[in-house]
Structure 1
Amino acid sequence: MLKTGLAVAIALYTASLLGFPSGIFAGIAALFAIQPSIYQSFQTIIEQLQANIIGVTIATLVVYTLGNDPFVIGFTVVVVIGVCRYLKMGDSTVSIALIAVIAVMEATEMEVYQFALMRFGSLMLGIFAAFLVNLLFLPPKYESNLFLQIDRITSDILQWLRITTRHLSDDPSLKGEIARIQQDVRRMDQTYLLFSEERTYLKKNRLSKARKLIVFRQLIATTRKSFDVLKAFHHLDERIKSIPPNFQTALVQELDKVIHSHERLLLSFMGRIKQKNDETLHAISEPDIPHLVETLIEMYQDNENDDRLIFLPLASQLMEYHHHLTHLQTLLHSYQKFHQNEKLEFLNERN
């Protein structure tokens, strides 16, 4: 948001200093050229340059041959979109090409080629302004944002798991929360992608970054799996009430242990739990999910109907959740062993 405003302001101010008659096109180009990360800026600047050239060239040729009637401009827009799609350009890049078409095909008394060059310069000014802002100003802190997203989403999921396993959840409310969490998970995946694209130039930092990426990927995978368990419980909410009370109690107790384990792992990664003799992660109360799943299946083996099959997806999700937590525990133990003294960026944000 701040980067976009800064890029537009720089483009407009520079266009005014250079005496461009319609500096507004520089601002519009900067608006569409801004990217969420430095890496994506490097990736797209050449493509944006190509799109600008395509738009200006086609528009200039059309003005020379067919004029700049509104229907001709519309036809030119269709042609440019087709060319850009053929070259597999992104949506923001196609927008740059279309801005070039409209900018060049505006009615003017100047020579067409001079007018086209002036518009080309204005658009390139906006593109480079956006590139420089991405490169030099307001570097994004995707590591901090990513962990805060993971922490918040996981907390929401685990809270709803506690409520659902005790049959306290309101179905419409939970359904709405599941839809919201699904959108949050997609945004979390996008933030992870942006964090993974950030370039690290020192060899020492590259190794640390690689380890962090592995840990973050497993944190996300574990959060996703807890979400799958929540959806499975929501789907079977009424049927779970038919399970014998003693097993319902065991199910709630074991799931509470799993939730507690997940929370402790997050706190350990944040450095909120003191490490004493390397026991930070191993002191967690271990849930016995494999035994719970085995008991759930055995309970329905003597049942002549197929009702027991309904609970197999839940059993599968619980086992996978258990495996993800075990793997996450191993990764965090390894990370803490090799990077004990490293200050994590999301802790700096909170302090």
Structure 2
Amino acid sequence: MKLGARILKTGIAIILALFLSQIFNLPSPVFAGIAAIFALQPTVYRSYLSIIEHVQGNLIGAATAVVFVMAFGNSHFIIGLAAVLVITLNLKLKLENTISLSLVTLIAIMETPGEDFIQFALIRFSTIMLGVVSAFIVNLVFLPPRYENKLYYKNTILSEEITKWIRLSTRHASEHQLLKADIEKMREGLIKLDQLYLMYREERDYFKNNKLAKSRKLVIYRQMINTTKKSLETLKRLHRYENEFNQMPIDFQDVLQHQLDCLINHHEQVMLKFAGKIRAEASYMEGEVCLNKKQLFDLFLAQKKDLAETNSQMLYHVMQLVSIIMEYGENVEHLDTLITSFQSYHKDDNNVSIEQKTEI
């Protein structure tokens, strides 16, 4: 079992929170450790937003606790009523993420009010905020996330898995039920890919040149994900219309197989181009000619008359298959154009490391 950066950072944040509590001689340092757990975020930017939100949320919890204790005491019923009010206020102010820690602050202050209650409340509030600050420091300094590498490699691995199945499907070598299960896994992989893209988009660059390169990379990665989605949609259509594909004329099957092989090779080499593994000006299919959209559509129209006479439902399904292949090709070409343009203007700004791959 591999320990991820998030796991290690959680441990470090707890250690730092407890250590700082000891240095400042704060009672009940356990609350600082709890706060550090709640406040740790996957990105530096989210950690910054988390501090702002938790200051507001904890102020609500602390202020509510002080008012209720001074006005009504600290019976179990009063604490529950105060908790309801804290949750309501957080929801009204759109601070849903801070509800848990606000309630911790509320209970920590209301549980054992002493003679110097206001001072006690300030100390508990400060202890919890120390944990929040500790989490931010750890997120900023230790093991900063590298979402670009994760995004590139998860996309690459997912694309390779999809293209492998496309090759098998066009050669009638895929196992129907196994492919169906893998398609579901790949669909879930695309959801994770979208989440990684959001994480990468939230990462902030503080230099103008880096911001320009980052904005163009965001466009490339968005198109990269869209292209992978189109390849998965192509695989889904091949799987769904497997019988119709097998009933098409052999010559037309060979055309579609050749076209998909061309698109797959192009897609693979575009990904390698982005990682700097091949030259930007390299041709993706030297010696082979792939059909353009018009040629592929003309060949489909040539089959239309025969298909319409034998099975109109089959014609409709074949039309969907040809359509998605054309869309896949358009997305690959657009991705190629974006990457070529990026490398022309930002030759030294591609930070993707190609030393290690990660799992889907």
Check whether TM > 0.5: yes
CA contact (8 A) 1:6 1:133 kept: yes
The answer to whether residue 339 in structure 2 is matched with residue 332 in structure 1 is yes
SS in 2 for 1:346: coil
Task: Show the counterpart of 2:198.
Answer: 193
State the shift of 1:171 in Å.
2.7
SS in 2 for 1:288: coil
Further displaced range: 167-176 or 115-124: 167-176
Further displaced range: 28-37 or 75-84: 75-84
Task: Show the counterpart of 1:171.
Answer: 176
Structure 1 residue aligned with 2:49, among 43, 47, 64? 43
Give 5+ residue unaligned stretches, structure 1: none
Q: In 2, distance between residues paired with 1:265 and 1:283?
A: 14
Relative to structure 1, is the Cα distance of residues 336 and 104 closer, same or farther in structure 2, using a 3 angstrom cutoff?
same
Task: Show the counterpart of 1:257.
Answer: 262
Superimposed CA distance per residue, residues 258-310 of structure 1 (whole angstroms, 9 cap, x where no aligned partner) = 111111111111121245xx335585855315233443354234515531112
The answer to whether residue 23 in structure 2 is matched with residue 17 in structure 1 is yes
The answer to whether residue 157 in structure 2 is matched with residue 152 in structure 1 is yes
Task: Show the counterpart of 1:300.
Answer: 304
Task: Show the counterpart of 2:3.
Answer: none
Q: In 2, distance between residues paired with 1:256 and 1:282?
A: 10
Relative to structure 1, is the Cα distance of residues 123 and 300 closer, same or farther in structure 2, using a 3 angstrom cutoff?
same
CA contact (8 A) 2:244 2:318 kept: no
CA contact (8 A) 2:156 2:271 kept: yes
Q: In 1, distance between residues paired with 2:96 and 2:289?
A: 48
Partner amino acid for 1:318?
A: I
The answer to whether residue 36 in structure 2 is matched with residue 33 in structure 1 is no
The answer to whether residue 236 in structure 2 is matched with residue 231 in structure 1 is yes
Structure 1 residue aligned with 2:70, among 64, 67, 74? 64
State the shift of 1:187 in Å.
1.6
Partner amino acid for 2:291?
A: D
State the shift of 1:102 in Å.
2.2
CA contact (8 A) 2:265 2:285 kept: no
CA contact (8 A) 1:52 1:96 kept: yes
Q: Could you tell me the TM-score, scaled by structure 1's length?
A: 0.90
SS in 2 for 1:53: helix
Query: What is the percentage of aligned positions where both structures have the same residue?
Result: 38
Task: Show the counterpart of 2:84.
Answer: 78
Q: In 2, distance between residues paired with 1:29 and 1:60?
A: 20
Task: Show the counterpart of 1:279.
Answer: 282
Relative to structure 1, is the Cα distance of residues 66 and 79 closer, same or farther in structure 2, using a 3 angstrom cutoff?
same
Relative to structure 1, is the Cα distance of residues 222 and 196 closer, same or farther in structure 2, using a 3 angstrom cutoff?
same
Task: Show the counterpart of 2:274.
Answer: 269
State the shift of 1:71 in Å.
3.8
> What count of residue pairs does the alignment treat as equivalent?
347
Partner amino acid for 1:39?
A: Y
Partner amino acid for 1:287?
A: C
State the shift of 1:222 in Å.
0.8
Further displaced range: 200-209 or 107-116: 107-116
Q: In 2, distance between residues paired with 1:294 and 1:119?
A: 75
The answer to whether residue 320 in structure 2 is matched with residue 316 in structure 1 is no
Q: In 1, distance between residues paired with 2:192 and 2:9?
A: 19
Q: In 1, distance between residues paired with 2:172 and 2:78?
A: 64
Q: Could you tell me the TM-score, scaled by structure 2's length?
A: 0.88
Structure 1 residue aligned with 2:208, among 179, 203, 212? 203
State the shift of 1:167 in Å.
2.7
Task: Show the counterpart of 1:242.
Answer: 247
The answer to whether residue 348 in structure 2 is matched with residue 345 in structure 1 is no
State the shift of 1:110 in Å.
4.8
State the shift of 1:29 in Å.
0.7
Q: In 2, distance between residues paired with 1:170 and 1:282?
A: 29
Partner amino acid for 1:83?
A: L
State the shift of 1:228 in Å.
1.2
Q: In 2, distance between residues paired with 1:339 and 1:115?
A: 56
Superimposed CA distance per residue, residues 138-172 of structure 1 (whole angstroms, 9 cap, x where no aligned partner) = 21111111111111111111112112222322233
Further displaced range: 219-228 or 158-167: 158-167
Q: In 2, distance between residues paired with 1:337 and 1:144?
A: 21
State the shift of 1:82 in Å.
1.8
Relative to structure 1, is the Cα distance of residues 23 and 240 closer, same or farther in structure 2, using a 3 angstrom cutoff?
same
Relative to structure 1, is the Cα distance of residues 309 and 133 closer, same or farther in structure 2, using a 3 angstrom cutoff?
same
Structure 2 residue aligned with 1:219, among 220, 224, 228? 224
State the shift of 1:108 in Å.
4.7
Relative to structure 1, is the Cα distance of residues 258 and 282 closer, same or farther in structure 2, using a 3 angstrom cutoff?
closer
